[in-house]
Amino acid sequence: MISNIRYTAMARWLSVVVLTSLLTAPARATEAEAGGWDLSLEPYLWMPVIDLETPAAELQLDFSDILEAINWVTMIAGTAKKDKLTVFGDVINLKLTQSGSEAFSVPIGPFTPTLAVDGKWTIKAWIITGGVDYELARTDKYSIGGVVGARSLWLDVVTTETGTLLRRSGAAKQGGSDWFIDGIVGMQGRYALEDKTFLRWYGDVGTGDSNLTWAVQGEVVYQFKRFEAFAGYRYMTWDLDSPALNDLTVSGPRIGANFRF
């Protein structure tokens, strides 16, 4: 659980090392400056389907459900590149809340009173992926790199049901939170299609606190003068075994822009 000392220490390491490495890497002063860093910032919109399994229930949310339930969401990535080495990070933070009501007729002797049931669920999550990528091969047409890093998942899922019958009410609450941190290895690359258009792909697999986690994504990127625009698909999944969460899969199309400076 998140109160565990090991989780707390690793969580601090991940959030501090990954994010500060992106924010404090030396900026490139000029195009001709030797040994400088090339930075990029990539805000994006991921439009996924969320499949969530807990010991108490299974939940599937389409993107339309997510739009209705959003309280807040942040999705942003960034890199710092020097020669063949790239430091990268990707952060997702969101909170979803949804509620509803149903009424049932309950026969009690000669009477049929109404049972009113109010339900509410809340999902809060942080997904942070970070690491380093080293370029293994490059030609005019393509490039390939090897990835080593870590992925952190913090998830809090709570469901509450309140029932009222004959002016008497009762409530039931289920759920919990947990934090998982996994080491990952993978590959990434790009392949040129035309002068300003290329394919970009990424894949990783890992384990640690989860039994298994893996992610893949592919995108078509178009280069404008000052930035790149992309559209593609991302799939990310965890096989978990905890009191709060069994399995989680997040998958769907992704669009965004990459600003380099």
Per the prediction, the chain carries an average pLDDT of 80
**DSSP string covering 224-243, please?**
-SSEEEEEEEEEEEEE--SS
Domains of the chain and any CATH numbers: 5-29+44-95+125-154+177-260 (2.40.128)
- Does the pLDDT value for residue 89 go beyond 80? yes
Q: Quickly state the pLDDT bin for 88 (edges 50, 70, 90).
A: very high
- Burial (CB < 10 A; 0-12, 13-18, 19+), residue 166, is exposed
CA pseudo-torsion sign 47, 187, 259, 220: negative
Res 21: pLDDT: 42
pLDDT digits (tens, 9 = 90+) for 157-180: 877 766 554 455 555 556 677 899
Nearest alpha-carbon partner for 69 in 57, 52, 56: 52
Please check the confidence at residue 47 and state whether its pLDDT lies above 90: yes
pLDDT at 190: 96
Helix locations, the chain, DSSP H: 5-24, 63-69
Distance CA 182, CA 141 (A): 33
| Structure tokens given for 129 | 């992926």
CA distances from 41 to 14, 79, 120, 240 (A): 19, 7, 36, 31
Q: Mean pLDDT over residues 127-148, rounded? A: 96
3-state secondary structure at position 34: coil
* pLDDT exceeds cutoff 60 at 10: no
Most distant pair of Cα atoms in the chain: their distance: 89
- CA–CA distance from 112 to each of 102, 106, 176, 235 (Å)? 16, 5, 36, 49
* Token couple for 232: 């593609």
Q: What is the pLDDT of residue 119?
A: 64
How far apart, in whole angstroms, are the C-alpha atoms of residue 135 and residue 205? 18
**Token pair 């993107």 in the structure block, residue:** 63
- Cα separation of 91 and 203, whole Å? 17
* 45 bridge partner residues: 255
The Cα-based distances of 76 to 124, 215, 260 in angstroms read: 17, 17, 14
Whole-model pTM over 0.85:
no
Judged against a pLDDT cut of 50, whether residue 193 lies above it is answered with yes
